[in-house]
Amino acid sequence: MTFSREAIANGYAARFDDRTRAAHLATLIHARAIEQSGWPTVPMIRKFARLFEIPMAELGAFFGQICRMEQGRELWVDVLRNAPGTADAQRFMTRRQSEAFGFMLLAN
């Protein structure tokens, strides 16, 4: 199934609030400007989540970085690159993480 750019943009605007969309865009622009890979790092995700006051786990999911807390520690898994722990990370995603990750997959 394919979606038009307009349908994707409309879904993005309907599903994610202004602050989340702004954090997503700012993180991506920042990464493209300073990272050789052009892709956000976990420290960037943390920084922009704090700046825009949104959950870092949701912001990370837009970039395939899935975070969950385990025994008081952040566990990050790069599911786009099938890092160790990918299956568990995908199984334990929150609804919001799943929506952000799904959007990222759909939009690419």
pLDDT at residue 100, as a whole number: 95
pLDDT at residue 10, as a whole number: 87
Locate the domains of the chain by residue range: 5-107
Instruction: Return the structure tokens found at 43.
Output: 């420290």
Burial class of residue 72, CB neighbours in 10 A (0-12, 13-18, 19+): exposed
pLDDT at residue 38, as a whole number: 95
pTM higher than the cut 0.95: no
The CA-atom distances, in angstroms, between 23 and each of 40, 44, 50 are 12, 11, 9
Give me the residues of the chain with pLDDT under 70, please.
1
User: Any idea which residue has 């722990």 for tokens?
Assistant: 85
pLDDT tens digits, 33-42 = 999 999 999 9
Is residue 21 within 8 A of residue 62, CB to CB? The reply is no
Burial class of residue 105, CB neighbours in 10 A (0-12, 13-18, 19+): exposed
The radius of gyration of the chain from alpha carbons, rounded to an integer in Å, stands at 14
pLDDT at residue 77, as a whole number: 95
pLDDT at residue 1, as a whole number: 66
- The Cα–Cα gap between 58 and 55 comes to 5
- The Cα–Cα gap between 49 and 57 comes to 9
pLDDT at residue 50, as a whole number: 98
